[in-house]
Chains A and B, each alone.
Chain A
C-alpha cells in the first residue's frame, strides 16, 4: 500500500525518507514540488497527485508535508488517516511534531515507522502498544540506558497486541489514581451582515486523561444523552451499551486520548455567546476607508467570555491600518494583510471597540467585498449545548479514583460576514 514516505519542510527540503518496499528515488517529489509551486498557498496543495508511475498522497501538519508514495489503487482516506496517525504519534512521543523534533530523534522516528507499517500496511498504530515496543525518550531514561546498557526497545510482544483490548497496556500502576474528562464544545457559525445566524452548530469532544492502575472498567453517563446526535467513538467504547442505554462503557487506554467526538442535534437552537457590531467601508475613488468593530457578550449564561481574538483577512488593496482599541492590542501584517486584535476578556460594562482608518493603495479600485471577521473565544465552565456528565462509575478495581470533569466552550469556525 504505502510505498515510501518523504518528510518535506516548507522550504522544500526532504529531511527524512523511509521506504517499506523497493527504494523510490527522491526525484518523485519533484512532481509534488511542482504542484506546491502551482498552489499559491500551502493549504491549496492538492492532497492527491498523480505522476506517471506513482501517486503521491500528502498531508500538511505543523509546517511539514508528509508525502507518501503509492503505487496501486488504495482508498486515499486510508493513507491520509494513517499519515495523520503518524504525525499524532510523533506529537505524542516528542511533545511536538516539528522538523527539529523529528531530526533530533531520527532513530526513534525510524524505529516507530518500522513498527507502524509492514510492507506498507499498518501493523501497530495504537500509542499504548508502540510505547511498549519503543519507549519514548526522556532525559532520565537516556542517562539510565547509558549507564546500564539497557535499551529503549521492548523485547516481548506487547500484550495489548494480542488481547481484545489492544489500546490498553498491561501492568499499569499509579500511586494517585485519577480520571479527568474535558468536555470541549466548539461553536461553528456563520453570521451574516445583519447579525442573523446563517448556520450554526455545536461540535464537541470529550478528551480524557486517565491514569488508573490495573484494568478499570469505566462507565460514564450523561444527564441528557439525547443531545448527542452523531457520535464517533474511540474503539474502546462498547457500542451496544451506548445503543441500548446511552452509557459510555469502556476500559480506557492509559494516558491521554479522545474518548468521543459528537455533534449536537441540529434541532436545538445554538446560543451564540457574542455579537459583533461593525462598520467597514471603503470610499469610492479614495485611498482611505473606515473600520469600526465592537464586540459584546450575549446569552452567555452568566459566564465571562475570555481569550477573544478577532482575525480579519483584509483585501489586497489595503496598505496599512490606523486604529485605536479601547481594550487589548492589535497588529496588522501588511504582507499577508491580516489584522489580529487580541481582545482578551469581555466585560459587559465596557464593550471593547477597535476603530480607525484604513489606508488603501492609491489607484487600486475599491475592494468588492468587505472582509469577514473570524472570531475566537473561550468560555470556561460551560458546555454551550447544556450537556452534563451525570456520573462516572468504575468497576473491576478496588481503589477509589479521583474523578474530574471540566467543561469548556470555544469558538470553532466562527465567522461574521460584513
Chain B
C-alpha cells in the first residue's frame, strides 16, 4: 500500500506538468491534490470534478491524467461512471481517451459500460469513416458478453461498408468477437468468406489474420481467392504480407505436389526421414514415369513473392525465405540466402532469429550458404547468443574445401575471453572432426594441445570432446589416454574428470599400467568427489575388476564399500548393482557370468550432432521453431500430397455477365460479333458491392480471343477495344495502380505481336508460323494464370492447345533464342550470384516458358511509362533498293522504351538483300547529327545472303525535336547516305495516370504551354472507338480514363526530357471538336497539334 501511494505521488508530479496550462484556471483545487501526501480518494474526487466540469479543457486534462494512471498500471476503475459520461463528447481527443479508458475497464464494469453502447451504435452510422471505424474498434474491444449480438450485427454491416478502412476494422473485430464468444464461429466464418473476396489491399492482410485465428482449417475458403491474394500480395501493407505468405505456404503444401525431384532427395544429406512422402512419391513416379510439371498456381505464388525479398521489413523477408524453403524447387531456393544474410546487419534480436533459421537451413542444404561463409565469422563484440548461433552455422557449413580456413578461424575463437563461447567452439571442432575424416587427426592434436590450456572450462570441454572423438577410433590413441590420465591430478571440473575415468575404464586394456594406478588415486579421493565422478569411479573399478582382478580386487572392494554408505541413493544403488554383478557369490545368478560382456561391450560411438537437427519439424520463421517446442496455436505444415487435388477449384466460377456491363459494352460486341467473347469474361461476385475491377480479366480474355482470330489487323482492333472497356468500367480508388498492372500484363502480348512481325519479315515461313502460334499459346497460358480471377477456360482454346502441343515441343528450343531480340528489356538484370545452377528441365512445359518470360512484377505508381497501346505496322523507307544497289532498308518505330538509353527512341531497321550476291559487312558509317543528338548503332552485320532480310534495332536520341538524323549505311563496297526523320508522335512514350492526376497536371500546364484548335470531325470519326484508334495510331500516346463520354484524354511524356504531353479531344455539338494539347515543350506540342488535326478531320 505504501509503495503504491508513493508511486502515486510521483504520478501526480507528472500530471502537474501535463496539466499546467489548464489547472490554474479551471480547477483551482487541483494543485492541492498534487501535494506530497494527498490520498487516493481525494485525488479521484478532483478528477471527478474535472470530468464533470463544463469545460473541455478540464475534461481533457482529467482524461490525460487518467490515461497516465492506466499507463502506469494503476487502478482507475472507480472513475468509470464519470468517464463514461464523456463518451459522447464532441472533442475528438477527449473521445479517443475515453475510448482508451473503456477498452481497459469495460470488462470489469459491464453494467455501466452498457450506457455507452448507444453512442457507438450512433457513431457506426457516422458519415466520417474514421469515426465509424473507431466506434467499431471500441465496440468490439470492450468485451461485454451481453452485447455479442450487437457486435455481430455491427461487424456484418461494417463488412459491407464502402470504406475499405472500415472493412479492415471489421476483419479485426471478427477475431475479437471470436475470442469473446467462440459460439459465433459459424456466423463469423460467413463474414470472413465475404471479406476474403474483398479486393482492397487494405483488407486482405487483416482478413487473412482473422481466417488464421478463427478457421485455419477451412482451406476451401481460400481456393477461389488464391490467385487474387497472390496478385495483390505486392501491394498489401507489410504486416499483412507476412500473414498472407504464411497462410499461403500452408495452403500450397496441401494443394500442390512436391517440386522436389527424387534425385534431390538422395543427394541431400539425410533428408529422407523428414520428407518421407518423397519416397513414396518417387516410387509412384517411377511407375507412372510422369515428368513433373509445376502447377501454374504454384509457380504464381513463388514468382509473386520474389520481389518481397527486397522488403525493408525483416519479417517479410523471412516469410518469403520460409516460403521458398518449403515450397520452391530446391534449385530456386538459393536466391533467398542473399537476402537472409543481409538481415544479419540488423538489430541483435533480428540477427538472433535469422541465424537460428539459417542454422536449420544450413544443416539440410549446405550449398545455400556456403558462398556467405565469411559473413558468419564471429566478432568479439557480438553477444554470446549471436556468437554461438554463428558458430553453429559455420560448423554446419564445414566441408573438405573450407575446413582449413575454418579451423584457423576457430583457433581465434578458442582463445576468446568469453569462455562459454570458447567451450562451444571446442564442441564445434569436435563435430568437424567427426564429420570430416580428413581432419580428424589434426583436430584431435589441436584439442590435445588445448588440454594444457590455463582455463579450466576449456580443458574440461576439450576432455569431453576428445572422449567422444576417441570413441570413434580408439585404436591409435593410447598415448592420448595416458596423457589424460595424468590430467586427473590437476583438473577439477566434474564432467571432465568423469570423462577421463570413463575413457580409462573403457580402454583399460590399452593402458594396463596406468589404469590401476588411477583407480588407486581415485579411491583416495572418492569421498570428496562429485556424484558424477563417483559413478565413473565405480564403473572404472568394475571394469578393472573384470579385466585385471589380480591388481585391483581389493581396491574395487574398498570403493564398493565406500559407495555402500554414500549419501546419494543413486550411488548406493549403483554400488549394490555392481557388487551383485561382478563379485560372484551364492546369490548372484547366471547374470554374473556375462558381467564382462555387459560392461565391456562394444559401444557405438556417439554422433556429434547439431542442436538444430530436429528443428526442421517446425515451419521456419515461426515461434515454435525458435523455441523448439510446439507453441500454442501452431499450425502444422502438412506434407505434400501424393496427388494434387483438383486444381480447378481455384478457378473462379463463371457467372452470367451482369447486365450493366452488357449495356456499356454492347457496341463493341456488335462490332466484334464473336459469340464466346463475353461468355468467358468473368464477372465479379455479386456479393461484393463496391469494387469494379474485373476489367483486368475481361480485357485480357478479350485480348486472347483477338489473338485466336489472329490476323495482325484484328489485333489492333482488339487492343483498342480493350482500352474502351477499361476506361468505362472505372473504379473509384486504386485505379491508377490497377490499370497499370493490367497494361503490364498485356505487356508480354505486345512483345508477342512484335515478335510476330519480325518473324514475318524474316520470310522464313516454314518455322516462324508454327512458332508464332506456339508463342501465342504460351501467352494465353500465362494470361490465364496471371489473371487475378481467371475463369475456366473455354473448351475451344483447350483443344487447340492440345493439338498444338506437339508442334510446340518441337519449337520450344527455338523460342527462347528468339526472345533475346525483343525481350531483352524484360530480362532479369540481376542474375543470382549463388552458385546454385538452375537446371533446365528436359521438357519445358508451356506454362513454364511463360513463367520464365513473365518474371516481371507490377509496381505501384501514379504516373508512369506504360507499354504502347498500339504499335503501328507502318514502315518508312530508309533506302530504296534501286539507289542502294540492291540493298533495301526500311525502318519503323517499335514504340518500346529503348534498351540503349533512357532518352533514345528505338528504331527497328529491316535490311533486305535484293541482289543475287552476298552483301558483306553492313554497318553504319559516318554520322551527321545535329548537336545534342545521339545515336546507338546496330552491330555490324557480317553478311546478308541474297533474298534474306534481317531486322536490327538502334536507338536515336532526337532531343525531342523533329530534326533529321543523317548517317551513312555502308556495305563492304559502298556507302549510302540515308536519314531518319521522326514523326512527332514517335518522340513520345505513353504514360498512364488517373483522370484526377491528369486534371491537376493539365491545370499546371496552361497559358503558354497550351495549344488548341477547333476542328471539324468527319461524322464517321465521332465514335469513341474510332477516335482512340486514330489518335494512338498517329502518336504514341497512353490512354487516360475519362468520366465524360465526349472527352477523350491521352497522356505521354517526351522521350528525351520526360516532359508531359497531355492531349484532350473534346467533342462538341455539330461535329466539331476541340483539340487541346498541354505541354512544356510547346514546339512539339504545336507540331503534334498540326499532325493530329488532319487525322481526326479526314474520313
Interface residues of A (CB under 8 A from B): 1, 14-19, 21-23, 26, 41, 43-44, 46-48, 50, 55, 58-60, 70-78, 80-82, 84, 103-104, 106-107, 109-111, 114, 118-119, 121-123, 125, 142, 146, 149, 151-157, 161-166, 188, 190, 192, 198-199, 201, 203, 215, 217, 229-235, 238-241, 243-247, 249, 251, 258, 261, 263, 265, 313, 315-316, 365-369, 371-372, 374, 393, 395-396, 398, 413, 415, 417
Q: Mark B627-652, 1 if CB is under 8 A from A, else 0.
A: 10101111100000000000000000
Instruction: Check B172 against A118 for contact (C-beta < 8 Å).
Output: yes
B663: CB under 8 A from chain A? no
Instruction: Check A232 against B311 for contact (C-beta < 8 Å).
Output: yes
Instruction: Check A26 against B319 for contact (C-beta < 8 Å).
Output: no
Instruction: Check B862 against A76 for contact (C-beta < 8 Å).
Output: no
Chain B residues with CB below 8 A from A153, complex form = 92-93, 96
Instruction: Check B172 against A238 for contact (C-beta < 8 Å).
Output: no
Instruction: Check B1001 against A155 for contact (C-beta < 8 Å).
Output: no
Instruction: Check B1060 against A77 for contact (C-beta < 8 Å).
Output: no
Instruction: Check B172 against A81 for contact (C-beta < 8 Å).
Output: no
Query: What 7 pairs between A and B have smallest CB-CB spacing?
Result: A72-B633, A369-B415, A151-B93, A43-B383, A238-B859, A146-B21, A157-B130
Instruction: Check A75 against B455 for contact (C-beta < 8 Å).
Output: no
**Which of B104, B176, B859 gathers the greatest number of chain A CB atoms within 10 Å?**
B859
User: B388: shortest Cβ distance to chain A, in Å?
Assistant: 10
Chain A residues with CB below 8 A from B377, complex form = 190, 198-199
Q: How many Å lie between the Cα of A361 and that of B868 in the bound state?
A: 79
Chain A residues with CB below 8 A from B623, complex form = 48, 55, 70, 73-76
Chain A residues with CB below 8 A from B860, complex form = 164-165, 238
Instruction: Check B829 against A110 for contact (C-beta < 8 Å).
Output: no
Picked from A75, A244, A315, the residue with its CB within 8 Å of the CB of B829 is A244
Chain B minimum-CB-distance residue to A105: B18
Instruction: Check B381 against A47 for contact (C-beta < 8 Å).
Output: no
Picked from B93, B381, B632, B829, the residue with its CB within 8 Å of the CB of A73 is B632
Chain A residues with CB below 8 A from B1060, complex form = 395
Instruction: Check B862 against A199 for contact (C-beta < 8 Å).
Output: no
Q: How many Å lie between the Cα of A218 and that of B738 in the bound state?
A: 21
Mind listing 25 A-B residue pairs with CB under 8 Å? A1-B209, A21-B176, A47-B349, A48-B353, A74-B622, A75-B246, A75-B315, A77-B314, A106-B71, A111-B97, A118-B137, A123-B168, A149-B56, A156-B128, A157-B128, A190-B377, A235-B238, A243-B856, A247-B902, A249-B864, A263-B342, A313-B381, A369-B416, A374-B381, A396-B863
B830: CB under 8 A from chain A? yes
**Which of B133, B383, B737 gathers the greatest number of chain A CB atoms within 10 Å?**
B383
B711: CB under 8 A from chain A? no
B29: CB under 8 A from chain A? no
Instruction: Check B454 against A368 for contact (C-beta < 8 Å).
Output: yes
Chain A residues with CB below 8 A from B313, complex form = 81
**Given A165-B862, A396-B863, does the pair A104, B239 have CB atoms closer than 8 Å?**
no
Interface residues of B (CB under 8 A from A): 14, 17-18, 21-22, 56-57, 60, 64, 67-68, 70-73, 91-93, 96-97, 99-100, 104, 107, 128-131, 133, 137, 140-141, 143, 163-165, 168-169, 172-173, 175-176, 179, 201-202, 206, 209, 213, 234-235, 237-239, 242, 246, 307, 310-315, 317-319, 338-339, 341-342, 345, 347-350, 352-354, 374-375, 377, 379-381, 383-385, 409, 412, 415-417, 453-455, 621-624, 626-627, 629, 631-635, 733-734, 736-737, 744, 825-826, 828-830, 833, 856-864, 902, 1001, 1004, 1053, 1058, 1060
Instruction: Check B68 against A243 for contact (C-beta < 8 Å).
Output: no
Chain B residues with CB below 8 A from A149, complex form = 56-57, 91
Instruction: Check A155 against B130 for contact (C-beta < 8 Å).
Output: yes
User: B653: shortest Cβ distance to chain A, in Å?
Assistant: 29
**Given A80-B353, A153-B93, A199-B374, does the pair A106, B859 have CB atoms closer than 8 Å?**
no
Chain B residues with CB below 8 A from A123, complex form = 168, 172
Instruction: Check B73 against A17 for contact (C-beta < 8 Å).
Output: yes
Q: How many Å lie between the Cα of A121 and that of B137 in the bound state?
A: 12
Instruction: Check B902 against A59 for contact (C-beta < 8 Å).
Output: no
Q: How many Å lie between the Cα of A23 and that of B141 in the bound state?
A: 12
Instruction: Check A146 against B734 for contact (C-beta < 8 Å).
Output: no
Chain A minimum-CB-distance residue to B732: A162
Instruction: Check A157 against B165 for contact (C-beta < 8 Å).
Output: yes
Chain A residues with CB below 8 A from B621, complex form = 75-77
**Which of B234, B349, B863, B1004 gathers the greatest number of chain A CB atoms within 10 Å?**
B349
User: A114: shortest Cβ distance to chain B, in Å?
Assistant: 6
Chain B residues with CB below 8 A from A152, complex form = 93
Instruction: Check A232 against B342 for contact (C-beta < 8 Å).
Output: yes
User: A191: shortest Cβ distance to chain B, in Å?
Assistant: 11
Q: How many Å lie between the Cα of A229 and that of B335 in the bound state?
A: 12
Q: How many Å lie between the Cα of A38 and that of B309 in the bound state?
A: 36
Q: How many Å lie between the Cα of A238 and that of B631 in the bound state?
A: 38
Instruction: Check A16 against B71 for contact (C-beta < 8 Å).
Output: yes
Chain A minimum-CB-distance residue to B209: A121
Chain B residues with CB below 8 A from A190, complex form = 377, 379
Chain A residues with CB below 8 A from B1001, complex form = 396
Chain B residues with CB below 8 A from A235, complex form = 238, 311-312
**Given A77-B353, A78-B242, does the pair A142, B21 have CB atoms closer than 8 Å?**
yes
Chain B residues with CB below 8 A from A238, complex form = 859-861, 864
User: B174: shortest Cβ distance to chain A, in Å?
Assistant: 9
**Given A80-B350, A157-B133, does the pair A230, B175 have CB atoms closer than 8 Å?**
no
Instruction: Check B380 against A415 for contact (C-beta < 8 Å).
Output: yes
Chain A minimum-CB-distance residue to B734: A164
Instruction: Check B454 against A365 for contact (C-beta < 8 Å).
Output: yes
Instruction: Check B348 against A43 for contact (C-beta < 8 Å).
Output: yes
**Given A121-B206, A413-B381, does the pair A368, B130 have CB atoms closer than 8 Å?**
no
Picked from B14, B140, B173, B348, the residue with its CB within 8 Å of the CB of A106 is B14
**Which of B99, B416, B864 gathers the greatest number of chain A CB atoms within 10 Å?**
B864
**Which of A22, A76, A165, A229 gathers the greatest number of chain B CB atoms within 10 Å?**
A76
Instruction: Check B165 against A244 for contact (C-beta < 8 Å).
Output: no
User: A78: shortest Cβ distance to chain B, in Å?
Assistant: 4
Instruction: Check B415 against A162 for contact (C-beta < 8 Å).
Output: no
Q: How many Å lie between the Cα of A222 and that of B53 in the bound state?
A: 62
User: B552: shortest Cβ distance to chain A, in Å?
Assistant: 37
Chain A residues with CB below 8 A from B375, complex form = 199, 201
**Given A72-B632, A76-B353, does the pair A22, B318 have CB atoms closer than 8 Å?**
no
Chain A residues with CB below 8 A from B622, complex form = 73-76
Instruction: Check B733 against A162 for contact (C-beta < 8 Å).
Output: yes
**Given A48-B627, A55-B631, does the pair A368, B453 have CB atoms closer than 8 Å?**
yes
User: A250: shortest Cβ distance to chain B, in Å?
Assistant: 9
**Given A103-B14, A153-B96, A157-B130, does the pair A59, B349 have CB atoms closer than 8 Å?**
yes
**Given A73-B622, A80-B353, A107-B97, does the pair A417, B107 have CB atoms closer than 8 Å?**
no
Q: How many Å lie between the Cα of A16 and that of B68 in the bound state?
A: 9
Chain A residues with CB below 8 A from B1058, complex form = 393, 395
Instruction: Check A151 against B626 for contact (C-beta < 8 Å).
Output: no
Q: How many Å lie between the Cα of A368 and that of B421 in the bound state?
A: 14
Instruction: Check B104 against A23 for contact (C-beta < 8 Å).
Output: yes
Chain B residues with CB below 8 A from A263, complex form = 342, 345
Instruction: Check B339 against A47 for contact (C-beta < 8 Å).
Output: no
Instruction: Check A398 against B862 for contact (C-beta < 8 Å).
Output: no
Picked from B129, B179, B454, the residue with its CB within 8 Å of the CB of A21 is B179
User: B695: shortest Cβ distance to chain A, in Å?
Assistant: 17
**Which of A26, A55, A81, A142 gathers the greatest number of chain B CB atoms within 10 Å?**
A81
Instruction: Check A121 against B352 for contact (C-beta < 8 Å).
Output: no
Instruction: Check A164 against B736 for contact (C-beta < 8 Å).
Output: yes
**Given A21-B179, A413-B379, does the pair A203, B345 have CB atoms closer than 8 Å?**
yes
Chain B residues with CB below 8 A from A107, complex form = 18, 64, 67-68, 97
User: B278: shortest Cβ distance to chain A, in Å?
Assistant: 26
Picked from A125, A146, A245, A369, the residue with its CB within 8 Å of the CB of B239 is A125
Chain A residues with CB below 8 A from B18, complex form = 106-107
Chain B residues with CB below 8 A from A413, complex form = 379, 381
Chain A residues with CB below 8 A from B374, complex form = 198-199
